[in-house]
């Protein structure tokens, strides 16, 4: 899992790739949680937090870019 500092250093394309991977992992974990017992239940929370952090950083970058053009 990437820390917030590592996420800030990523380019937009890298961040989108990590976001897609985290979403796919979260989906697989949710399916696994419904069908069988999870080995590491805290992984669900970790993936949700990672997705939230990435989306927050993307919003910050969008607002910064909008402010720069205005």
Q: How is the chain split into domains, by residue range?
A: 12-69
* Chain mean pLDDT for the chain: 94
The whole-number pLDDT of residue 1 equals 61
Q: What's the pLDDT at 3? A: 86
pTM confidence score: 0.90
Beta-carbon contacts of 54 under 8 Å, excluding residues fewer than 6 positions away, are: 7, 15, 18, 19, 22
Longest dimension (CA), the chain: 52
Residues 12-43 have pLDDT tens digits of: 999 999 999 999 999 999 999 999 999 999 99
Token pair recorded at residue 66: 């909008």
The answer to whether 22 and 49 have CB atoms below 8 angstroms apart is no
pLDDT attached to residue 5? 92
CA distances from 31 to 28, 53, 70 (A): 5, 23, 44
If you average pLDDT over residues 40-68, what whole number do you get?
95
């Amino acid at each position: 899992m990437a820390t917030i500092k590592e996420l800030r250093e990523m380019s937009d394309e890298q961040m989108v790739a990590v976001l897609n991977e985290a979403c796919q992992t979260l989906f697989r974990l949710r399916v696994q949680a419904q069908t069988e017992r999870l080995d590491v239940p805290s992984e669900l929370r970790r993936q949700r937090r990672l997705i939230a952090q990435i989306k927050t950083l993307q919003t910050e970058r969008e607002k910064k870019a909008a402010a720069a053009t205005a």
